[in-house]
Amino acid sequence: MTQSADPQDADFEINQAALIYHAEPRPGKISVEVTKPAETARDLSLAYTPGVAEPVRRIAENPEDAYRYTAKGNLVAVITDGTAVLGLGRVGALAGKPVMEGKGVLFKHFADIDVFDIEVQAETPQEFIDTVRRIAPTFGGINLEDIAAPHCFEIEQALIEQLDIPVFHDDQHGTAIIIAAGLLNALELQGKSLGEARMVVLGAGAAGIAAVRLLVAMGAHRNNILVVDRKGVIHTGREDLNPYKFGVAAETDRRTLEDAMEGADVFIGVSGPDLVTRGMLASMAERPVVFALSNPVPEIRPEVAREVRDDLVMATGRSDYPNQVNNVLGFPFIFRGALDVRASRINEAMQIAAAQALRELTHEPVPQSVLDAYDLDSLAFGPDYILPKPFDPRLREVVPPAVARAAIETGVARGDWPAHYPAL
Q: Per-10-residue mean pLDDT for the chain, 424 residues long?
A: 55 86 90 93 95 96 96 97 88 95 96 97 96 98 95 96 97 96 98 97 95 97 95 94 94 96 98 96 98 94 96 95 96 98 98 98 96 94 97 97 98 95 88
Question: Which pLDDT belongs to residue 5?
Answer: 54
Q: Give the angle subtended at the CA of 210 by the CAs of 198 and 282, to the nearest 5°.
A: 30
Look at residue 145 and give its three-state secondary structure: coil
Strand ranges in 230-312 using DSSP code E only, listed in sequence order:
232-233, 266-269, 289-292
- Phi/psi for 346 (5° steps) reads -110, 100
Fold agreement (44-165, 173-316): yes
Question: Which pLDDT belongs to residue 218?
Answer: 98
Which secondary-structure segment (H or E) carries 66? helix 66-69
Per the residue annotation, which of 72, 97, 103, 245 is the catalytic one?
103
Question: Which pLDDT belongs to residue 7?
Answer: 54
Q: Give the angle subtended at the CA of 359 by the CAs of 141 and 302, to the nearest 5°.
A: 105
Question: Which pLDDT belongs to residue 13?
Answer: 85
Question: Domain residues of the chain, as ranges?
Answer: 44-165, 173-316, 327-409
Which secondary-structure segment (H or E) carries 97? helix 97-111
- Looking at domain 44-165, which CATH architecture does it have? 3-Layer(aba) Sandwich (3.40)
Which secondary-structure segment (H or E) carries 75? strand 75-80
36 is catalytic: no
Residue 92: half-sphere exposure toward Cβ, Cα within 13 Å: 2
103 is catalytic: yes
Residue 405's contacts (CB-CB under 8 Å, 6 or more residues apart) are 353, 424
Per the residue annotation, which of 21, 29, 36, 48 is the catalytic one?
48
Cα 306 from Cα 374, distance rounded (Å): 23
With respect to CATH, is domain 173-316 assigned 3.10.180.10? Answer: no
Q: Give the angle subtended at the CA of 366 by the CAs of 365 and 369, to the nearest 5°.
A: 145
The pTM is what?
0.93
